[in-house]
Structure 1
């Protein structure tokens, strides 16, 4: 009985960790969407996403972190995109 309870506890713990990770990824996706919107300026979203990926590679950070930086810079500058500043 203790073994079954322990296995059940570990399974629930693992599932809770996975749920937390997925929630974080959803929040990061929303940040990526905001960054793509900031970079697009009416152009194609695909090009803006490619630009975001390129910035992430040049800055040697994840796409999610690059998106956070773009959104932060956009908010600091009142909505103006200055993504060429790193």
Structure 2
């Protein structure tokens, strides 16, 4: 977005940035500055888009940390040290060619399925 503003007053510039403008043009719009404003706007838009994607990815990974801890605890309960548990999870992720978070989710789900099957066998 390119804001077309009537003055370069600090309040007007702040308003344009708050509205999400990636660049500004001063009225009256003439031949000067249009190409530069387009380049700046595109560059700022691309940077914003990349930052938003990176933040979303980090938020997803952060929300999956609890699952990673659960997977590590499953390995610890099976007799591994914490370091061995993290290494086992890393090896599984590499073997499956998935992220640590995805591997942890599979380990936790698999453990839950094993518990359900064990409970069925005990009560069956």
Same fold (TM over 0.5): yes
TM range (shorter): 0.5 to 0.7
Structure 1 runs of 4+ off > 4 angstroms? none
**Aligned pairs, number:** 79
- Residue 40 of structure 1 deviates from its aligned partner by 0.7
Separation (CA, whole Å) in 1 of partners of 2:87 and 2:40: 49
Cα root mean square deviation, aligned: 2.5
Q: Which runs of 5+ in 1 are unaligned?
A: 81-86
Change (3 A) 1:56 1:11: closer
**Which of 61, 79, 82 is the matching residue for 1:45?**
82
Please report how far the alpha carbon of residue 77 of structure 1 lies from its aligned counterpart in structure 2 after TM superposition.
3.2
Q: How does 1:55-66 map to 2 (within 5 A)?
A: 55-57=92-94, 59-62=95-98, 63-66=100-103
Q: Report the structure, 1 or 2, having the larger helix content.
A: 1
Aligned to 1:83: none
> Any idea what SS the aligned residue of 2:64 has?
helix
TM-score, with length taken from structure 2:
0.51
Larger radius of gyration: 2
Q: Any gaps of 5 or more consecutive residues in structure 2?
A: 1-36, 118-124
Post-superposition shift, 1:25? Answer: 1.9
Secondary structure, counterpart of 2:91 in structure 1: helix
- Look up the match of 1:8: 44
**Superposed CA offset, 1:20-69 (max 9, x none):** 11112213333211100111117521121122233334x43333332111
